[in-house]
Amino acid sequence: MTARPVRRPAAAVASLSLLALVSAGLSACESGTALPGIGDAVDEPSSSASTPATERPRLKVNVGRGATEVPVDTVLSVRAQHAVLESVSVTSPAGDVEGRLSEDAGTWEAAERLEPGATYTVRSEGRTAAGEPVQRTARFSTADLSLAEQTYASIAPLDGETVGVGMPVVVTFDVPVTDRAEFERHMHVESTPRQRGTWHWISDTEAHWRPRTYWRAGTEVHVDLDVNGVSAGGGVYGQHDREIDFSVGDAHVYRVDARTHQMQVFSNGELLRTLPVTTGKAGFETRNGVKVIIEKFDEKRMNSETVGIAAGSAEAYDIDDVQWAMRLTYSGEFIHAAPWSVGSQGSANVSHGCTGMSTADAGWLYAMTRRGDVVETVGTQGDDMTLTNGYGDWNVSFQEYRRGSAL
């Protein structure tokens, strides 16, 4: 796990002085502010003293000159009155702010939000219909934020990863997001070919996105979390934008039937092999439903105490080197090699809930399996899979899943 990026406070804001206006008869005006640090600050070009104030060309910025404690979710804008804008630059040691001019050159709007504890300089230039230049320079500073006031998003899959057709996009936040709707408006998933999908909030710290049906094999997916500076509610803001790209590999679907004690292995709709398996015995039944491979281990220690079976009991176990283990649930279900139960595989269910098979079969399956591959289990006497026990996103209808969106 990589360390979480840490923001350092920017230097204190320098005191500001108003620029002297060069031509005789000029005046500068600045309106009051409705919110701390927010308002219209304007400059005026050379003009006749007889020109009515309402007709004088102005460049108006929505943050007052010299303002402090400006919220980081402020979207800067510059508006020209009786003039057109020619250029706007917003610079800061924390990073420059890009933006775009409107088609009529009447307004400029920032394409990104602000950084905390930073000093910004806004320089705007324009021109009147008569060709007179209009200029404005202003500086302001933003409110500083502690780490507890910023939430950082982690994304699965990893950037550049190739996954199975059941892999949801999983976003986790290290500080809770209470304004889910505002955040979700800035969380985007695009795919080629395009597949309709939706977000579903598991909690204030976790959101998933899945398409209506399993991903199509070969799909390319782009995830864009444009959340830097976005209000997460309760005085918390997004800490960084995040973007990743991942690919969807072959459509691997493994169908386990606990009644026949077999697993059918499909790739892109073709049945490759049918493997003899064993699933959970009475009292330890394997869950029915759609599961997704969460992670893989060449070798893993499995201890019964981690799933609530007391050490020293008749059902206790502690095996250091279980081979070819593929996790299906957070509660402890795996597919893995089980050489101790080969005599029951294909004929009886004798495990503590995992799907066991021979070492050779498990190694073959492990080699072709990716995170996100699908395991569909039927025929057990156990509980049904839930949405939150692993990547359980496929165990509810798309309509029900969509109700978990904040929008």
Residues with catalytic function: 336, 354
Tokens 């509980």 found at? 383
**Can you give the chain as a three-state secondary structure string?**
CCCCCCCCCCCCCCCCCCCCCCCCCCCCCEEEEEECCEEEEEECCCCCCCCCHHHCCEEEEEECCCCCCECCCCCCEEEEECCEEEEEEEECCCCCECEEECCCCCEEEECCCCCCCCEEEEEEEEECCCCCEEEEEEEEEECCCCHHHEECEEEECCCCCEECCCCCEEEEECCCCCCHHHHHCCEEEEEECCCCEEEEEEECCEEEEEECCCCCCCCEEEEEECCCCCEEECCEEECCCEEEEEEECCCEEEEEECCCCEEEEEECCEEEEEEECECECCCCCCCEEEEECCEEEEEEEEEHHHHCCCCCCCCCCEEEEEEEEEECCCCCCEEEECHHHCCCCCCCCCECCCEEECHHHHHHHHHHCCCCCEEEEECCCCCECCCCCCCCHHHCCHHHHHCCCCC
Contact 297, 371 (CB under 8 A): no
Structure tokens at 297: 């281990």
Determine the straight-line distance between the first and last CA of the chain, rounded to whole angstroms: 32
Q: Residue 246 and residue 162: Cα distance in Å, rounded?
A: 6
Cβ-contact 351, 389 below 8 angstroms: no
